[in-house]
Amino acid sequence: MAMFLTVSGSASPDSCTERVLLTQIVPRLAGGGHEIRHLAVRDLPADALLHGDAGHPRLTATAELLAAADGVVVATPVYKASYSGLLKTFLDVLPRRGLVGKAVLPLATGHMASHGTLLHEALRPVLRSMGAAAVVPGCFLTEQAARSLGAPQYVGAREQLDRGTALFLRLAAARLSRQQAAGARSMA
């Protein structure tokens, strides 16, 4: 089984972004028996993040956790048509190629449907620049949809989460298969 890291770039523990991540994405991933580790960036030491102190013990441990993950889900609220500054600060302090070979699923929530372009125009390029092997097109939900996912009118939002998570799982499984095959070849 795989180990997946979920990263929340929300400043608030009760944000709709965090709620979607923990109540929708995590159960979809855990259903396959995978280990899920969660990181709320807001819980990391602010001084170390703001000063880019990658050598801080908590940030070093976080980088090691990221390196051990088979796939990463990156969740962020949209603020002023961009992903959160908290997430940006976190990504900046990580190793330059900290996502090498990993499957990544971006998730964002925002006020307006037009904020969904953030995933393609801003967040995906950053994740790719960090070496992600595959960045799933991502899931964007308006805050209204995120708060009311059980309502019939948001069936499309639930289907988007299903499709995004399923693709993420397939890409992560392919990565694991390649690693196992490479390990078997090196032992031969």
* HEC per residue, 10-65: CCCCCCHHHHHHHHHHHHHHHCCCCEEEEEEHHHCCHHHHHCCCCCCHHHHHHHHH
Any idea of the CA torsion for 150, 38, 11, 85, to the nearest 10 degrees? -110
- Residue 188: per-residue pLDDT: 60
- Residue 186: per-residue pLDDT: 66
Digit-by-digit pLDDT tens for the chain (188 residues) are 899 999 999 999 899 999 999 999 999 999 888 999 999 999 999 999 999 999 999 999 999 999 999 999 999 999 888 889 999 999 999 999 999 989 999 999 988 776 667 777 888 999 999 999 899 988 999 899 999 988 999 999 999 999 999 999 999 988 777 777 776 666 66
- Residue 115: per-residue pLDDT: 66
pTM of the model: 0.92
**How many residues can be counted in the chain?**
188
Domain boundaries, the chain: 3-187
CATH number given to 3-187: 3.40.50.360
What DSSP element (H or E) covers 136? none
